[in-house]
A and B are shown apart, each in its own frame.
Chain A
């Protein structure tokens, strides 16, 4: 069964797979749905945005001018219509089963980055009691992480309703939940979608105050 379109798929197992000579592929979605998502090939070295060359994009130059250390963010997919629909269903309709769709790829992506520990972006208490899950932890299920951050307000304002200007002027939404020294460590922040980068840069600021050597980030979509 394809997790996205719910259609039954015919499982074809090749001879080599049956004999155990070739690893079986575990696909969670059908090929038709998979082609709707656009993976990021060549991207901005600062924020992972899909572009023609790997130089810093305009927005990352702005972050740099503001004195931020760039996150060297990586994202797997472009935030296109298919990804928008996926996020709509996964986050806002709360279809938790959809977390499996990109799980393997995300975990593989984390393993390819040299870091010491993983810190997820938290959700508010209100979201936990309505949506019932942290969307980032769902996507990266099975990964070892440390929940160092938490949301300061009980009800975090839902960012997806805001435009760019409002998002960028929002105040620091996070606090440190767990004061541990991170001196000399490299940290990977994980999130579901990178839109303006505001959320991740706020999180990174706090992680740096714990003494981290460097902070990178990874998300499913950009």
Chain B
């Protein structure tokens, strides 16, 4: 029964209902009660199903939603923070502000540069919430982020049971106080969480997605706290912060106090036809120094082509290519993490939420539409995240310079100036 606490699970109308379960209709005047959208597809006999949330299992007019109210029935004595690290002075400030928000039950934006140590700053507030028997969800729109966060959270709270949810699998679910999940998974919850932390809140597919916004809204309790984490808030988010509709903690300094690596821009010719000399020179250097690196390209189709060309030129440098539709995507990223390969040609899927210590980054076609200003800032933020090598190279190869590339450059410089006023190294 406790699998239904704070959940909404689709069951056929004709299934017999266990005692105590609250049954709600799946549709009210054509609106799907799980995802809040109105995108119907027909079934025979005047029945229909929802197209919007189909990827999490079908909801049809032949179904109902089962739920049980969230009782917060946790054995909370064992849930302590087992993380041993320390926070910097700036991180402690943010962390304390978050604990204060927890009492006030508000929304809070943590606007911290890439590599500021956002996850670690969350630990105290999560610990506080768990101590108070609250149910906590740590969310991200991106699977890769969840996959990378899972072991870190698990070690920080190694006595606390945690459910990690993503994809279509339902087997992994068990009733726990701590839930780590993609934002899509919130469609399976109803009034469940007291504290929600949404990492990379400005990223695809969460941003401008009415269904996911609805999912998060109904997964939290009426009285709850929401913390948004990002290095690059959207305009709407910034506006809300300016109007004081939402609390903001601002951290323009990385945890190791070094400035962000700036974006270097190189003009090149048509790189899709032939690898530019400038790029080849750079790669030769990487080869000599055994430097590990990522190459970002604008399109899925570019990944394979560019990887082939590079591996022809540099057969003894081991590398690979990856994109969202790649079946062995997790494995390839893991190989890069384990230092089995020296480089990875990738699309924007690796733009955020991933850390490969000590890498450099090259961006081909940075002026193209796929890379937004914020995406470029995030990509640059992959570099210099390690205490041992807090600097690194970020080079964008462009056929022409446009305002977006300049804006990204400017944004990084602005952050560094602000960081310097906080006492960061120059």
Contacts and interface: CB of A to CB of B under 8 A. Distances in A.
A199 to B, nearest CB: 21
A130 B12 contact: yes
B14 A129 contact: yes
Given A129-B12, A130-B12, A132-B49, A93 B58 contact: yes
A10 B232 CA distance: 33
A93 B57 contact: yes
A96 B14 contact: no
Interface in A63-101: 93-97
B14 A126 contact: yes
B44 A133 contact: yes
Interface residues of B, number: 16
B14 A94 contact: no
A129 B60 CA distance: 11
A93 B41 CA distance: 14
Nearest to B11: A130
A95 to B, nearest CB: 6
A132 B62 CA distance: 7
Contacts of A137: 44
Nearest to B45: A132
Interface string B52-82: 0010011010100000000000000000000
Contacts of B41: 96-97
Nearest to A89: B54
Contacts, number: 35
Contact of A132 (B47, B51, B57): B47
Contact of B13 (A129, A133, A134): A129
A132 B60 CA distance: 8
B43 interface: yes
Nearest to B60: A132
Contacts of B51: 97
Contacts of A126: 14
Secondary structure of the B side of the interface?
A: loop
Given A129-B14, A132-B43, A133-B43, A95 B54 contact: yes
A93 B57 CA distance: 6
B205 interface: no
Contacts of A97: 41, 51
A93 B43 contact: no
Interface in B372-418: none
Given A94-B58, A94-B60, A130 B14 contact: yes
B54 A132 contact: no
Contact of B49 (A94, A129, A138): A94
Contacts of B161: none
Contacts of B43: 94, 96, 132-133
Nearest to A95: B54
A137 B51 CA distance: 21
Given A132-B43, A133-B44, A96 B49 contact: yes
Nearest to B15: A130
Nearest to A138: B44
A95 B14 contact: no
Interface string B307-319: 0000000000000
B42 interface: yes
Interface of A: 93-97, 126, 129-130, 132-134, 137-138
Interface of B: 12-14, 41-45, 47, 49, 51, 54, 57-58, 60, 62
23 contacts: A93-B54, A93-B57, A94-B43, A94-B49, A94-B58, A95-B54, A95-B58, A96-B41, A96-B43, A97-B41, A97-B51, A129-B12, A129-B14, A129-B62, A130-B14, A130-B62, A132-B47, A132-B60, A132-B62, A133-B43, A133-B44, A134-B44, A137-B44
Query: Which 6 residue pairs of A and B lie closest in terms of their CB atoms, listed nearest first?
Result: A132-B43, A94-B58, A130-B12, A129-B14, A132-B62, A133-B44
